[in-house]
Structure 1
Amino acid sequence: MREYIKSQDECFYSIHSRYYPLLRTIAQRKGIPYDEIDDVLQDAFLAFYEHYPLTWPDSKIRATLIKTLKNLCIDYWRKRENRSVASMDPAELQVIRYELSILSGKDLSTVIVQKELYKDVMNALMTMKRDWAVVFFLYIIEGRPMDEVSRILGVSGAACRMRLMRGRKYLREKLEKTEENSLHEASGHLKKLPEASE
C-alpha cells in the first residue's frame, strides 16, 4: 500500500512539474492577478488529482488540465465581477488620482480642474445604468480587452460594444449638462460682482 501511495505521489509530482509552466502561462493570459495565479493552479491540479486517473496518456492529461484551468478562470472572474463594481469607491479613487497628479508635477490649477472633472465623471458613472457602467469600468477604467470583458460578463462582444456606446453617450450628455450648470452658476456669480470703478 505504501509503495502504491509513493508511486501515486511521484506520478502526480511528475504531472505537476511538466504542466505547471504551461498552465501558469494560460492563467496569465486569462488575466488572473499575479498574486492569485498559484491558488488557481493549485485548484486545477487538485481537481485533476481528485477526479481523474494519473495514468492517462499525456495528451489526455494535458487537455483535461487546460480545460479545468480555463473553467476555473471563468469562475474566478464571475465571482469578482460584482465585487469589482461594488468596491469602486469614487471618493477613494478621487484621492488616488489627486495624489498622482501632484506627484506628476502638474500645476495646482490643472490638478483642481482635473479633480473636478474626475468627480463629475465618477458621479455620472454612479447614476449610469448598471449594465453600461460595468462594461465602462472594465474596458475604459481597468483597460481590459473587449473580448475579456465579454467573457467576464458572459455576453457577446457586440452586446458589450453596444453597452459601451450607450454608456459613452450617457456620460457625454451628463457631463454636458454639468458643464452647462457650472457655466450658468458662474455667470450668475459674475453678475453679482460689483462693477469696477474707473
Structure 2
Amino acid sequence: MSKETLTSTFTELRKGFFRLAMRFLSNQEDADDTLQEAFFRLWKHADRIDTPEEAEALTIVTVKNLCIDTLRKKSHLHTVELDEGRDDAVAESATDTLEREERFKAVERIIEQRLTPLQRQILHMKEYEGKEYDEIAAKLGMQPPAVRMQLSRARKEIRECYLKQMER
C-alpha cells in the first residue's frame, strides 16, 4: 500500500478516529496529539499495509492503545493542588481513569463475544464512523428501520450484559 493510500484512508476516517479518541480522553488537544502520533506510527509501516480496511483497523487499534497510554501517563503524573485535599483529588482522578478504562474493556468484550457480526458492523459504522442510518442501510443492502432495530438490539444486549457483570 502506498503512503498516499494511507493518507487518504486516514483523512477520510479522521472524524471517526477523533470521536474514538475523545471517548477515552476528555481533552481535544490530547485527542489531536493521539491521532497525529497514530498516523506517524503507521506512516513508518505504510508499505506493509495492504488495504484501506487494514489501515482503518490498525489505526483504530493504534489510537485506542495510545489513548490508554495517555491515560496511564496522566494517572502517574503528580500535580500540586493549592487546596488541602489535593492527595485525595489525585488518587480519585487516577482511580476514576482506571475504572473508566476497565468499563470500556468490559464493553468491548461484550461487543466481541455477544453481538452478531452484523450488529458489530452496524455499531461500528454508527458509533465510530458517525454514519447515518440511511448510509449504513445502503452500504449493507438493508432498510433503515432494520438497521435501527439491529442497533437497538445490540445496545440492549450490551446494556443487559454490562449490568449483569456489575452485579457480580
Answer whether contact 1:8 1:54 (CA < 8 A) is retained.
no
Tell me how far apart the structure 2 counterparts of residues 149 and 54 of structure 1 sit (CA, whole Å).
30
1:148 and 2:111 aligned: no
Tell me how far apart the structure 2 counterparts of residues 88 and 19 of structure 1 sit (CA, whole Å).
38
Match 1:51 to one of 27, 39, 45? 45
Deviation per CA, 1:160-192, whole angstroms, max 9, x where unpaired?
A: xxxxxxxxxxxxxxxxxxxxxxxxxxxxxxxxx
Match 1:34 to one of 23, 28, 31? 28
Correspondence for 2:76: 82
- Label 1:53 to 1:32 Cα distance change in 2 as closer, same or farther (>3 A): farther
Aligned residues: 105
CA positional deviation for 1:10 = 3.2
CA positional deviation for 1:66 = 0.3
TM-score (normalizing by structure 2): 0.50
Residue identity matched to 2:100: E
Deviation per CA, 1:96-137, whole angstroms, max 9, x where unpaired?
A: xxxxxxxxxxxxxxxxxxxxxxx4xx17839xxxxxx62x23
Please identify the structure whose Cα radius of gyration is greater.
1
Structure 1 segment 169-188 matched on structure 2, within 5 A: none
Match 2:12 to one of 9, 12, 18? 18
Superposition RMSD in Å: 3.4
Residue identity matched to 1:12: L
% of aligned pairs identical? 22
- Label 1:55 to 1:77 Cα distance change in 2 as closer, same or farther (>3 A): closer
Correspondence for 1:125: 88
Tell me how far apart the structure 1 counterparts of residues 25 and 62 of structure 2 sit (CA, whole Å).
16
Tell me how far apart the structure 2 counterparts of residues 123 and 54 of structure 1 sit (CA, whole Å).
47
TM-score (normalizing by structure 1): 0.43
Tell me how far apart the structure 2 counterparts of residues 59 and 23 of structure 1 sit (CA, whole Å).
14
Residue identity matched to 2:10: H
1:137 and 2:93 aligned: yes
Residue identity matched to 1:24: F
Answer whether contact 1:11 1:54 (CA < 8 A) is retained.
no
In structure 2, the gaps of 5 or more residues are 104-168
Residue identity matched to 2:88: L
- Label 1:82 to 1:58 Cα distance change in 2 as closer, same or farther (>3 A): same
Tell me how far apart the structure 2 counterparts of residues 39 and 9 of structure 1 sit (CA, whole Å).
20
Tell me how far apart the structure 2 counterparts of residues 146 and 53 of structure 1 sit (CA, whole Å).
35
